[in-house]
Amino acid sequence: MNEDIKSDSKNLIAFLSSEKYAESKDVLNSLPAYETALIIESSPPKKRALIWQLIEESKEGEILKNLSNDVRETVLTYMDPEEVAIVTKDLEPDEIADILQDLPEQIMKEVIEKMSYQNKDILERVLKYPEDSAGGLMNTDFIVVRPYHSVELVLRYLRIKNSIPLSTDNLFVVSRNNKFRGVLPISNLITSAPTENIKNIMVEKSALNAEIKSDEVIKIFERDDLISAPVIDEKNNLIGRITFDDVIDKIKSDADVSLKQFSGLSGDTFEKTSVAIKTRGIWLGINLLTAIIASSVINLFKETIEEVIFLAVLMPIIASMGGVAATQTLTITVRGLALGQIMSTNYLYLLSREITVGVVNGFFWALVLGLISYFWFGELTITLIILLSMVINLFMAVISGMGIPILLKFFKLDPAIAGSVIVTTITDVVGFMSFLGLATLFYG
């Protein structure tokens, strides 16, 4: 099956390149939605518009759902509000909400107005919560039962429905006025006597408040190995549920954003040239500023470098080693903060461990570089200078690699955005300062 899909995808690309649009349309509409979405994402912007025109309307909703946010935002510009309302009518409310949030606010309101009354009511309940909250992640496809119902009655009800929502491991137990009481595991339902009351086999379990952040939702799902979880409002009314696929989508989205932020990038692979120039240019400007700061430190010791010329050969190595060590510690720290593993109770332990690792590695590799330098230049003094400066720089690399992201998080800034620039600047400055300062001291 996968080989057939790959073959169809290759044929489609060949047809599009040859401008065989009739053949392209047939192949395109025979592919799964995720494969079509990937082809759109892998195409330059002008070709995306052409591909979208070839897609049947009945398939557009599923394809929109599978597109990345950046590409979906572009594709939505090809559609009018009524068309968006039509193609998304069979999607889950949380999926529709994700799509609509890529539209300008005025257009989003127009799309909602074009929807059926039922979809509009459900969607407005989802959209009232922020995208990065439990309410923003939830969907409304769940089954509720009453605590005084019998197992036989519930099973008869399920047979009448003839289907249950995907990823249903629990039914939700609510009172007559929709107050959440607990969950009824499917396993308990099918293994209990027909006359048993639901209240005797249900599990009293806490639900997720709609206001909690999506990061907390992810941690709860990971901690408790959940397939689904109920969502309640501030009055304990059951308003939705979150399933593991919603959580996976959120994790993938956050990872994509973090990767772009870490490099100072935005947009998709085929973003406009003008946008790419702007976003990357700003980041390069920041790096230029930090490079000037490091260079100004070198300039302070230009006389020493002129007298001992081989210092110019060795000093980039000291700065580079510190930069690598700082990035290693920074990565560990940012990951620990993201997973909630670093807190005030273990910070000193982690810091002391990283300092030990930094100093031991600094001492070992300084000896290696010192010996190489001695045989290279025949200077014993340089070995001592390298030893001291390397240990100093790796020590500062560890301190900054842990301290900077924690400080940024304290001020509610994203450590992934600015952390790498700051710590590499610190290690460059400290590396040059310690190496050239000690050289000036030893060589006069």
- Domain match, 234 and 209 both: yes
Give percent of the chain with pLDDT exceeding 70: 88
Q: Is residue 181 very low, low, confident or very high in pLDDT (cuts 50, 70, 90)?
A: very high
Report the pLDDT value the prediction gives residue 241, as an integer from 0 to 100. Answer: 94
> Does one domain contain both 352 and 420?
yes
pTM of the predicted structure, to 2 decimals? 0.66
Which residues pair with residue 237 across a beta bridge?
A: 179
Q: In what order do the strands lie in the sheet with 144-145?
A: 144-145, 170-174, 180-185
Whether residues 164 and 90 share a domain: the answer is no
Q: How many domains does the chain have?
A: 3
CATH number assigned to the domain comprising residue 40: 1.25.60.10
Domain-ending residue, one of 73, 104, 130: 130
Say yes or no: 110 and 161 in one domain: no
238 occurs within a structural domain = yes
Examine the domain organization and report whether 107 and 224 are in the same domain: no
Same domain, 325 and 380: yes
Q: What is the pLDDT of residues 224-238, one digit of tens each?
A: 999 999 999 999 999
For residues 12 and 120, state if they share a domain. Answer: yes
pLDDT tens digits along 18-48: 667 677 778 778 888 888 888 888 877 778 8
Give a yes or no: residue 136 inside a domain.
Answer: no
Residue 215 resides in a domain: yes
263 located within any domain:
no
Residue 166 resides in a domain = yes
From 130, 154, 170, the end of a domain falls on 130
Give the structural domain span for 33. Answer: 2-130
* Per-residue confidence band for 210, with pLDDT thresholds at 50, 70 and 90: very high
Is the residue at 265 inside a domain?
no
Instruction: Please check whether residue 266 lies inside any domain of the structure.
Output: no
Higher per-residue pLDDT: 207 or 412: 207
Asked if residue 251 is part of any domain, the answer here is yes
Do 223 and 296 belong to one domain? no
CATH number at residue 338: 1.10.357.20
Q: Do 293 and 402 share a domain, yes or no?
A: yes
Within this chain, do residues 209 and 281 fall inside the same structural domain, yes or no? no
280 and 426 in a single domain? The answer is: yes
Contacts of 316 (CB under 8 A, 6+ apart): none
Higher pLDDT, 420 or 387: 387
Q: Name the burial class of residue 309, with classes exposed (0-12), middle (13-18) and buried (19+) by CB atoms within 10 angstroms of its CB.
A: exposed
What CATH number is attached to the domain comprising 207?
Answer: 3.10.580.10
Q: Are residues 246 and 177 in the same domain?
A: yes
For the chain, how far is it from start to end, CA to CA, in angstroms? 75
Max CA distance (Å), the chain: 96
pLDDT band at residue 173, thresholds of 50, 70 and 90?
Answer: very high
Last residue of a domain, one of 81, 106, 130: 130
Alpha carbon separation from 114 to 90, 291, 299, 352, 374 (Å, rounded): 14, 54, 66, 60, 78
The better pLDDT of the pair 159, 272 is held by: 159
| pLDDT per position as a tens digit, 255-285 | 666 655 555 555 556 666 676 677 667 767 8
Q: What is the mean pLDDT of the chain?
A: 84
Sign of CA dihedral 217, 218, 223, 226: positive
The helix/strand/coil state of 292 is helix
